[in-house]
């Protein structure tokens, strides 16, 4: 019984000496201190506890080397209204967008200045590049006219190869309309980026640069890259089907070069409208998909040809006019934005639709019809450089 006496509980016991530098117990006053070499009274269950040296060593090792696991019921909860980042929920297989990583609080509205400048600069660059591209394409067609006639004459003389895979691909490509050939590259880019989402090692890069969110680290590049990004196969298939269906009409209306400029600009502008809506509502969630740009294509065709008959792929017996379809889509997205529906990015849809309606009504006259000074300057620069090159060769 005498061996158990040092560990017994009891009031009025002498406190235990913690050790370290300083005088031995009893050489100083009884006043406790939390520094080295002072007295410290350990907490007990019912009172003061006198610990043996062996038990004291084990207790100190546990305090220094390990930490007790906090039960779930004791985990601290964020106060109401707090803007601290919370862990993201696990991704859902049916979601159109993967679960975003945890981010900080609400960003400042000043972050919209840089995306606004990027949207204006990119739109101007896209239309300027399209104008130069159209000039070069027309010039190339004139130069290759006689070469194509000569190639056709040689093909008639040469023996034809039958059953070759390359010939079948060329035949399929030539049977496509100009609009379908134009959007083939866009569809291929969407499929490629969709495959990148399936690689686990690319998730961080995809979240940063291929989803648009005003609270993200990257602001400008996702405005364009997210237009080609899809996480859900159904989302990508639906968007690409609509783009393929309206490609012939919109390219015959605008031309290949102008369509590419409108499509890329629509993706950037619709994303900027989404940024503004997220800043206004305070709901910061990542968005991705070509829906904003495709809404521009759909709105442009429906505005220019409101009496055209449309139908749903699964319900071909029900037809409706393009004008009524556009009104229904705008009403749906307006209601979704006002009521806070979060399944679609309704702000991006509305931004794309309004941009398409504005462009075919006013933008074509203001932007595309005034490209002549740029094309003329480019032609003069090309002629001047060609003349200098010819002088050097002589």
Catalytic annotation, residues: 291, 349
User: What angle, 0 to 180 degrees and rounded to 10, lies between the N-to-C axes of helices 256-281 and 113-143?
Assistant: 170
Tokens of 237: 């298939």
Three-class secondary structure of residue 310 per DSSP:
strand
Q: How close are the terminal C-alpha atoms of the chain, in Å?
A: 117
Distance CA 257, CA 254 (A): 8
Nearest Cα to 293, choosing from 126, 133, 134, 181? 126
Residue 104 Cα distances to 168, 190, 210, 272, angstroms: 54, 30, 19, 21
Distance between CA atoms of residues 89 and 102, nearest Å: 9
Quote the CA–CA distance of 350 and 278 in Å, as a whole number: 14
Q: Is 39 helix (H, G, I), strand (E, B) or coil?
A: strand
Cα–Cα distances in Å, from 266 out to 18, 136, 324, 349? 72, 24, 22, 10
């Amino acid at each position: 019984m005498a061996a158990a006496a040092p560990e017994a509980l009891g009031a009025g016991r002498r406190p235990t000496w913690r050790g370290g530098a300083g005088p031995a117990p009893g050489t100083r006053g009884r006043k406790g201190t939390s520094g080295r070499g002072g007295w410290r009274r350990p907490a007990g269950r019912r009172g003061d506890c006198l610990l043996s040296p062996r038990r004291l060593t084990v207790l100190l090792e546990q305090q220094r080397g390990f930490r007790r696991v906090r039960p779930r019921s004791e985990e601290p909860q964020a106060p109401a209204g707090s803007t601290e980042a919370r862990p993201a929920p696990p991704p859902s297989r049916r979601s159109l967008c993967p679960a975003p990583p945890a981010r900080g609080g609400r960003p400042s509205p000043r972050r919209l200045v840089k995306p606004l400048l990027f949207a204006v600069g990119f739109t101007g660059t896209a239309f300027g590049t399209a104008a130069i591209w159209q000039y070069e394409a027309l010039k190339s067609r004139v130069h290759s006219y006689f070469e194509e006639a000569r190639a056709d004459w040689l093909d008639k003389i040469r023996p034809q190869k039958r059953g070759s895979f390359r010939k079948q691909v060329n035949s399929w490509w030539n049977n496509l309309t100009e609009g379908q050939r134009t959007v083939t590259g866009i569809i291929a880019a969407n499929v490629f980026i969709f495959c990148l989402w399936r690689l686990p090692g690319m998730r961080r890069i995809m979240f940063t640069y291929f989803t648009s969110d005003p609270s993200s680290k990257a602001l400008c590049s996702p405005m364009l890259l997210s237009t080609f990004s899809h996480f859900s196969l159904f989302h990508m298939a639906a968007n690409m089907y609509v783009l393929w269906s309206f490609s012939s009409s919109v390219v015959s209306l605008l031309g290949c070069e102008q369509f590419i400029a409108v499509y890329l600009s629509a993706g950037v502008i619709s994303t900027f409208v989404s940024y503004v809506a997220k800043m206004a509502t305070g709901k910061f969630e990542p968005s991705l998909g070509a829906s904003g740009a495709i809404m521009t294509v759909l709105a442009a065709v429906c505005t220019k040809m409101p009496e055209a008959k449309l139908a749903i792929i699964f319900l071909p017996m029900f037809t409706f006019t393009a004008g009524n379809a556009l009104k229904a889509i705008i009403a749906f997205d307006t209601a979704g934005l006002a009521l806070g529906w979060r399944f679609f990015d309704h702000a991006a849809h509305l931004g794309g639709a309004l941009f398409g309606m504005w462009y075919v009504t006013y933008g074509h006259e203001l932007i595309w019809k005034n490209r002549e000074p740029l094309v003329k300057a480019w032609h003069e620069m090309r002629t001047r450089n060609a003349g200098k090159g010819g002088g050097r060769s002589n």
